[in-house]
Every structure is written in C-alpha cells, then in structure tokens.
Structure 1
C-alpha cells in the first residue's frame, strides 16, 4: 500500500475547510433567522451537516473534472498517484462512512452514487457498496443486493490501478456478492448470493454465475456449457 503524502493531505484539508465554511455559512444564512424554539440548535447542526456534504460533493466533482482520475495502472510518484490520494481522502473520510452505515434508503443512495460519478440506468438501485463510483456503469432495471461490493480498484502491495466494472440491463446481483476490477456483466445475467467474481471476468447475457470464485452455473437459454 502506498503512503499518502503531506501535500495531498494539505490539498484535501483545503477543500474540506472550504466545504465547512460554506456549509456552516449557508446553514446560518438560510436557517439562522427562523423561529425554531427548542429545536434551533438541532436544526442548525443538521442543516450545516447537510450543506457541508453538498459543498464537499461539489468540490470533489470539480476536483475530478479539473484533474481526472484515469483508468489503468497508476505509476508510483506520478501525477495520477497524487490525484488518486486526494480522491481517496475524500472517499475514506467523507463518503465511505455514509455508504458503510446502511442508514440511507436505496433511493437516496442512488442519488448519492450518481452525485459521486456513478452511471446508473433508470430504475437501478444498490443496497450494497459501490467503491470508486466514477469507474462504475450499470444499465437500467438492475438490482445490486444487500452488502454487495463493487470494487473497480486493484491494490496489491504497491500495485495500484483502476479497471471499470460494467453491468448491463435487467441484471440481478445477489446479496453479499463481490465483483472485482474489470468485470463485465451482460444483460439479463444473474450473480448468485455470496459469489466472488474475479478480476476481468466476462459474464454473458442471460448467464447465471455463482460460487467462490464464481463460475458459470447456467448458460444463456439455448446454450450448454462446454
């Protein structure tokens, strides 16, 4: 695992401080003059927290727009490594706790993942954790089950890389499944509960996969496994 540098920490703290100042200031301006009685303190704190996150997401998206995080291998001591570490601080300190908590309902998590850069089709929802949302693309009418993990990054010793995960339309990903970097799932496919799909695996349309590591359990209708 590579060490995050002091300069990346300072840059992240600058963004976070800006989000704090803007969020607290906005909450005070919009809510400070309201007659809230005994709930004034609670409303102001909750409002400030919401606005801080909204500004943090906006600054995170601006950062990635100005300095995109590219797919593929990330060389040591490169500009991409610095970008990744700043992105990682946003993710670990601000966004991952919300994903991990399991408290927001699926419709709100859909909005949250879209805000973080995931591409989710119409009527697609996740009850699991989507790591690295900019590297996730999911089609329409797809369900990602409870506690499922989509992990498009590769961290192996000092090796660091991102390979997108693509999931088609009308796909069902069972609870507690794990999809690793570079996995491609075709339309109408099913990944069974608890399956672990290895890096780079290609699942064909209509196929059913399961197991650890995942293997083809049932081929597309009209086909038979070799």
Structure 2
C-alpha cells in the first residue's frame, strides 16, 4: 500500500512515537525552575488541542504563590488518606506510593473546565462529557510536549474539586480537573511507575481491541 503523501519524514515520525512511548506520569522532581519560554511552548501545545465543537473548555491557572501551593498540597494529602482508607486491603500498599510532587516541581498548573459550558451543544447534546474529553486532550498535548522538552509532568487528581475551586476563587460552574506538576527530573522512569511498583500492568492491545463487536465478544 502506498504511504500517504502527507506523512512526516522518518525522523519526525520516530520522534512522535518516541514521545508517546517515553511519556511518564512523574512524581519525583528537581527544584530547578522551568524556563519561561519553555512553559509558554507547553501552554501553546495544550491550547492547540482538539475540542468538540471547538468549545475550547480548558482554563489554566499557574500557581506561583508558595502558600497557595502548600494549601493545595494539604487538600491532596487529605484525599490521599481518604483514598487509602477506601482501598481496603491495598491501603498500606497505596500509602507507600508517591502520588504527587506539588511542593517539589518547578511549576504547578491547575487545569479546569470553564464555566458556561452548557451553552455548547455541538457534539455534547447526547455526550455532555465531551467537554472533559477535550480538556484531557489538552493535558495530553502538554504531556507529550513536556517529554519532548525533557521535562517531567505529573497529573494529580487526588483532591476535592469543590474545595480546590473555592481555594482558587473559580466562578460558579467551573470545575478543576487536574493539578499538573511540571519540572526537571533526574531521570524518567523506565516504565510507568505503577508498573514498577506492581500496582497494575498495561493490558495487551488484543484485550482492548475488537473488530465489529466488543473486544473478546
């Protein structure tokens, strides 16, 4: 089959797939600052993500106040303990995991769903959660760009969204989705950290891919 005339060069294609393969959810960071121009490139990448109906529902808050970071860390720690209790027999195992780097990373960003999303009907009439899917695309764009820049990124979702929204004075209807820790790292994990810690394993592609019917059906 003839290759597409629009495909990138071999080296460019390898770089794209390498970023995907080597992207990691990082928890261990160095204190070195992130260069402002690099941070702007990461935000550019996030803002150029696809969005259903071109709604662009993402909003970003850069956290530069240390006291605010510490308050956010407190919210994460409270939820970490609550999550551990909810895990039952895996509580101790979970408590041994490092699940965030809010106080360590060079940059901390909060990504949120914008208020007023209900006015966007295109693509959301039967699937209103597509606003969240669009924000996830923005985060993935930033994640891959960060890996290409040699920076680590960790997505923290262990927090009470209502309390974080109040802490950051978000308008009614807005909802935080992620705390992103971004920064320099000593090394990237050779495999996903939760695989290394024997928490879970990646499923074989064959288990999640079906043809004309549900996988395995």
TM over 0.5: no
User: Larger relative contact order (C-alpha < 8 A, sep ≥ 6)?
Assistant: 2
Q: Higher strand share goes to which structure? A: 1
Q: TM-score with structure 2 length normalisation?
A: 0.27
